[in-house]
A and B are shown apart, each in its own frame.
Chain A
Amino acid sequence: MKRLLGVALGILTAIGGFVDIGDLVTNAVVGSRFGLSLVWVVAVGVVGICLFANMSGRVAAVSGRATFEVIRERLGARAGLANLAASFLINLMTVTAEIGGIALSLQLASSVDYLLWIPVAAVAVWLVIWRVRFSIMENVTGLLGLTLVIFAVAVFLLKPDWGALAGQLAPTVPQQETFWSYSYYAIALFGAAMTPYEVFFFSSGAVEEKWSVKDLAQSRINVLVGFPLGGLLSVSIAVCAAIVLLPAGVSVTSLSQVVLPVAEGAGKLGLAFVLVGMVAATFGAALETTLSSGYTLAQFFGWSWGKFRRPAQAARFHLSMIVCLLVGMAVLATGVDPVLVTEYSVVFSAIALPLTYLPILIVANDPQYMGEHVNGRVVNVLGMVFLVIILVASIAAIPLMIVTGAGS
């Protein structure tokens, strides 16, 4: 049982990356417009995040250093600050979106306007960060978020034509879409899989749980269970949309359309599961991104941090998270669409992605940090290949966003 619960960190991290509010909608959009022709991108992204999350977990377990300390130490103050600015903005935008996402999910369940749920959601997130133990937090949100597996169940209950579905898997641009919007969504999916806050959260979580060299196997299990599961959830949302929404010609614009296929396939019970899952997943993502904001700032400036300390012993860390939540609430109070907010965070990934993964790769090869646990040759080759992919994706992100009008 302990082993089983031990993967909660990986699961929570992956849920925040793969099925947060922005991805819930993006996956359904992708499924309803491109069918399954972008599934390969998720597969590539899962391999990439497994590779680098495992590296960052190993660095944290062996040397006790979380990822942003490593980034500052290797890149120096200037490039480190550029990464901090970009990563922090991604975090802040995602925090904002997730609080809105919790509110939207609660609106779907209760029919009470989402603007009224926003303060409730923000205070709930803060209370958990302020008071709840890290292990309880990750176990509860991780396990509840797993109810999103209902999307995968719904795929079977919808009894699709499996042959036709498999035929869509080939990476080709559908007739009614342009190459540019296809590429834009490919990068959005890849960026969602590789969002930097996942490694910040995962490595800091490893420090919070006081992992050491003994826990390297645990770290690997976390990575190999958590991220593929996140990828599976993200793909099954797209498949659901491809089965139900694509033939009907529905273009997804809101969260209620995302759950439509589940309601059709799995009925009321399925709908109940999906609502619980969406609240838990957005809540988990809100926790992950809020904590990541605190982790990145504290680790860059060398402040005392961590939920394992009393809040008074990590004062600036807790203050910065309170400020983030307040800013998020203020932005949402303007009535901005929460889903739209995450889509624009793709722009900042352009700076943050390469500047995050390069230092991890360098330090994972540094014997001063790692001793005998430095990267093997295969991991290094794969790491270099992925750095090239990341660089291409990050350079292409902004031009594609402008050309396609953010995918519309």
Chain B
Amino acid sequence: MTSASAPLPRAPKVGGRILDAQLHLMDRQVLDHDGVPVTTVDDLEVSGPALDVEIAPGSPAPVITALLTGSVLGTRIFGGRPPSSRLIRIPWKDVAEVGVVVRLGVKGEPLDASWVERWVRDKIIARIPGGSHDPR
């Protein structure tokens, strides 16, 4: 522990754009490679030491490993934490662009995050006559 009066070391210089995770990532719409909505960023998964572990000096800064969705929204609002196995992840390497929306570089269709949409489509909507009718 450093004493409170000692000045903090300067933050390392970073190249490129600085994003505020809370402001620019959380709760933003996620679109896939073709502009189809996939989900909203419900939470973020960050690498790094566990909560109670003392951080050794010189250890690398944590990085975002995945966008989270699914039941994590419920626990974020009402408290608690789902077990890691229940998180639905969109790996950060799939993210192509962060702007007003978060754009993925892959198709949304096969992602884990789209399973409810696929289920509702295949089991219900596609079975109603006209479900695949193009409105235009």
| Contact surface of A with B, Cβ cutoff 8 Å | 63-65, 69, 72-73, 76-78, 80-81, 130-134, 298-305, 307-313, 315-316, 318-319, 368-369
Asked whether any CB of chain A lies closer than 8 Å to the CB of B33, the reply is no
Given contacts A78-B77, A303-B37, contact A319 B125 (CB under 8 A): yes
A302 touches B132 (CB 8 A): no
Q: Closest Cβ of chain B: how far from A309's Cβ, in Å?
A: 8
Beyond A63-B100, A77-B76, whether A302 also contacts B29 by CB under 8 A is yes
The residue in B30, B126, B130, B135 that gathers the most chain A C-beta atoms within 10 A of its C-beta is B135
Q: Would you list which residues of chain B between 95 and 136 have a CB under 8 Å from chain A?
A: 99-101, 116-117, 120-121, 124-126, 128, 130-136
Contact (Cβ within 8 A) B27 A77: yes
Which of A64, A76, A315 contacts B120, CB < 8 Å? A315
Distance, CA A21 to CA B120, complexed state (A): 33
The reply to whether B29 and A312 contact each other, CB–CB distance below 8 Å, is: no
A311 pairs with B133, CB closer than 8 A: yes
Query: Closest residue to A63 on the B side, CB-wise?
Result: B100
How distant is the Cα of A318 from the Cα of B126 in the complex, in angstroms? 11
Residues of A within 8 A of B28 (CB): 73
Question: Secondary structure at chain A's binding surface: helix, strand, loop or mixed?
Answer: helix
**Which residues of B have CB within 8 Å of A311?**
125, 128, 130-133
Task: Tell me the bound Cα distance from A379 to B126 in angstroms.
Answer: 46
- The interface residues of chain B lying within 8 Å CB-to-CB of A303 are 37, 39, 117
Taking a contact as CB atoms closer than 8 A, the residue among A131, A316, A319 that contacts B135 in the complex is A131
Closest CB in chain A relative to B29 CB, distance in Å = 5
Which one of B30, B121, B124, B131 lies within 8 Å of A302 (CB-CB)?
B30
B45 interface residue per 8 A CB criterion? no
Instruction: Report which of A72, A310, A368 forms a contact with B40, defined as CB distance below 8 A.
Output: A72
Chain B neighbourhood of A300, CB < 8 A: 40
- Smallest CB separation, A405 vs chain B (Å): 35
Could you mark each residue 13-57 of chain B with 1 if its beta carbon is under 8 Å from any beta carbon of chain A, else 0?
000000000000011111000001111101000000000000000
Bound Cα distance A180, B136 (Å): 51
- Is B37 a contact partner of A304 (Cβ separation < 8 A)? yes
Report if B87 contacts A (CB, 8 A): no
Query: In the complex, A76→B26 CA distance in Å?
Result: 8
Knowing that A78-B77, A132-B135 are A-B contacts, what are 9 other residue pairs whose CB atoms are under 8 Å apart, sorted by A's residue number? A65-B100, A77-B27, A131-B135, A133-B135, A302-B37, A303-B39, A304-B36, A313-B121, A319-B120
In the complex, A368 Cα to B130 Cα: how many Å?
40
What are 18 inter-chain pairs, A to B, with CB distance below 8 A? A64-B100, A65-B29, A76-B26, A77-B27, A81-B77, A130-B128, A302-B39, A304-B37, A307-B135, A309-B135, A311-B132, A315-B117, A315-B126, A316-B120, A319-B124, A319-B125, A368-B99, A369-B100
Q: Is the CB of A315 within 8 A of B100?
A: no
Alpha-carbon distance A132/B133, docked complex (angstroms) = 10
Does B88 interact with chain A (Cβ within 8 Å)? no
**Residues of chain A contacted by B69 (CB below 8 angstroms):** 302
> Contacts A72-B27, A73-B28: A315 and B124 contacting too (C-beta < 8 A)?
yes
B residues within 8 A CB of A299? 29
Quick one: given A131-B133, A302-B30, are A312 and B126 in contact (CB under 8 Å)?
yes
A304 vs B134: C-alpha distance when bound (angstroms):
15
- Report the separation of the CA atoms of residues A311 and B136 in the bound assembly, to the nearest whole angstrom: 12
Closest B residue to A368 using CB positions: B100
Contact for B29 among A73, A131, A133, CB less than 8 A:
A73
The residues of B that contact A369 with a CB separation of less than 8 Å are 100
Q: Are A134 and B37 in contact (CB under 8 A)?
A: no
CA distance A304 to B107 in the complex (A): 13
Residues of B within 8 A of A310 (CB): 131-135
Nearest-CB distance from A300 to chain B (Å)? 7
Of chain A, the residue at the smallest CB distance from B101 is A65
With the chains together, A299 CA to B39 CA distance in Å?
A: 9
Question: Which of A77, A131, A318, A369 has the most B CB atoms < 10 Å from its CB?
Answer: A77
Shortest 9 CB-CB distances between A and B: which pairs? A302-B40, A315-B121, A315-B120, A302-B39, A315-B125, A304-B37, A312-B126, A311-B131, A312-B132
Give bound CA distance, A318 to B127, whole Å: 13
A212 to B: closest C-beta gap in Å: 14
CB neighbours of B134 from chain A (8 A): 310
Residues in A whose Cβ lies below 8 Å from that of B117: 303-304, 315-316
Please indicate the chain B residues that have their CB under 8 angstroms from the CB of A133 in the complex. Answer: 135-136
Q: Which of B47-75 contact A (CB under 8 A)?
A: 69, 73
